[in-house]
Amino acid sequence: MATMAAIVAPFSFSSLLYSSPSSQTSCSFIQRPRFSFSCRASLSSPPQHGGPTGFMDFPYVSAPHKALMVDLVSTVESRLGSLLNPCSLPPDVQSYQNETGTAHAALHLRSGVQSSQIDFILGSWLHCELPSGGALNITSLSAYLNSSTDAPNLLVELIQSTPTSIVLILDLPHRKELVLNPEYLKTFYEDTQLDQHRQHLQKLSEVTPYFSSSLYIRSVVSPTAILVRIETEQLEEMIETHVTPIAKQVLKTWLDVCAFGERVVGESDRVYLKKRDEMSKKKTIEIDLGSSLPRLFGEETAKRVLEALREVF
C-alpha cells in the first residue's frame, strides 16, 4: 500500500485507465496520448490558467470540493502535528505541468517522525484539459502507517471528469488478510460501523457503485470501501450535503482508531506487514508507471516525480 498514492493520484490513474467500459467514456483519451510529451515543465512555466498553484490552493475544482479537501488535509496535519516532518519534495515535484500547460499537478508529502506510527501522508491534485473542452480533475489524500502498527491506511480520492459526475473513493484499506483475521475485521470495520456511510450513499438515486477494472485495486480496498459514481446536475450540493460529512467522519475514524490506536505487533507480523506493503508498492508502480503519468507529463517528469517520492518511501 505504501505507494498506492505515489504516482500523483494513484487510484485515479489506475481507476480511469482500468475502469469498466461504462465508467471511462469521458476519460478514454488518456489511453491515447494527444499531448506533446517532450516535457520541460517546471514551476518556471506559469500555468495557462494563472492563479495559485500550491497544493492547498486546489485551483481547478469547485468551492465545495476545495473546501472538503482543505478541511481533510488541515485536520490530518493538525491532529498529527509534530508527528510529521515538513514536506521536503523539490519544488518541481511539488508542482509540475506538461509543455503545453494542459496538464498540471501538485504533490504534498510529509513523512512521519521516527518514533511515530506514521509512514507518511500524501496529498495531490491533478488537472488536465480534455479534448472535448472539459477537464479532468483529481484530488486525493492518503495516509500510510508503518509496520509498528497493523492498523489500516487512509485513502480519499475525488475524480471529476464531467461537470455533472464525480467518482468518490473513500476507504481505510486493510493491512492484514481479513479472512484469516476476523478480529481485525471486527476491530476496524465492524465496531467502527464504517459500512453505514457506504449504505447511506447507496440509497441515493444519484449514486451507483463504481468498479475499477484493475483487479489488484479491487483486492486492495476493504469490504467497507466506498467506490461510487455520483451523477447529478447538483454536484456541488451533493458534495456539501453527503460527501463532505461522510469523508470527515471516515477521517475521524482513521485518526481515532488507526493513527492513534495502540496495537501490539509481533516481530513476525512486522515482517509480514513490510513484505505486504512492499509488494503493494511494487505492483502499484508497475500499474501506474507503465501508463498514464508518462503519457500526461512525459517520461522525464514522470521519472523525476517518482524518484523524489522513492526517497521517502
Measured from the CB atom, the residue of 178 and 257 that comes closer to a copy of itself is 178
Copy the grid coordinates of residue 265. Answer: 505487533
**Burial (0-12, 13-18, 19+ Cβ within 10 Å), 183:** exposed
Under rule CB under 8 A, which residues in 6-45 are in contact with a copy of itself? 20-22
The answer to whether 280 contacts a copy of itself (rule: CB under 8 A) is: yes
Q: Considering only residues 11, 58, 96, 189, which one is a binding residue for a copy of itself as defined by CB under 8 A?
A: 189
Q: Which residues are CB-contacts of 190 (< 8 A; sequence separation ≥ 6)?
A: none
Contact 251, 76 (CB under 8 A): yes
Q: Considering only residues 31, 177, 234, 271, which one is a binding residue for a copy of itself as defined by CB under 8 A?
A: 177
Q: Considering only residues 56, 130, 178, 246, which one is a binding residue for a copy of itself as defined by CB under 8 A?
A: 178
Which amino acid, residue 55? F
Q: What secondary structure letter does DSSP report for 87? A: P
Q: Look at residues 307, 273, 259 and name the one whose alpha carbon lies nearest to residue 90.
A: 307
- Contact flags string 125-164 toward a copy of itself, x per CB under 8 A: ----------------------------------------
Measured from the CB atom, the residue of 92 and 190 that comes closer to a copy of itself is 190
CA angle 313-257-195, nearest 5°?
100
The answer to whether 274 contacts a copy of itself (rule: CB under 8 A) is: no
C-beta of 226: minimal distance to a copy of itself in Å? 12
Orientation angle between helical segments 195-202 and 244-253, nearest 10 degrees? 170
Contact 155, 11 (CB under 8 A): yes
Find the part of the chain contacting a copy of itself (CB under 8 A) among 25-33, 153-161, 163-171, 211-219.
Answer: 211-219
**Sheet containing 118-129: which strands, arranged edge to edge?**
95-97, 103-111, 118-129, 135-145, 154-162, 165-171, 226-231, 207-209
The answer to whether 179 contacts a copy of itself (rule: CB under 8 A) is: yes
The answer to whether 275 contacts a copy of itself (rule: CB under 8 A) is: yes
- Contact flags string 212-251 toward a copy of itself, x per CB under 8 A: -x-xx-xxx--xx---------------------------
For residue 56, how many other CB atoms are within 10 A of its CB? Answer: 15
Measured from the CB atom, the residue of 28 and 36 that comes closer to a copy of itself is 28
Q: Which residues pair with 156 in a beta bridge?
A: 141, 170
Measured from the CB atom, the residue of 218 and 310 that comes closer to a copy of itself is 218
C-beta of 264: minimal distance to a copy of itself in Å? 20
Residues that bind a copy of itself (CB under 8 A): 1, 20-22, 177-180, 182, 185, 189-190, 195, 198-199, 202-203, 209, 211, 213, 215-216, 218-220, 223-224, 275-276, 279-280, 283
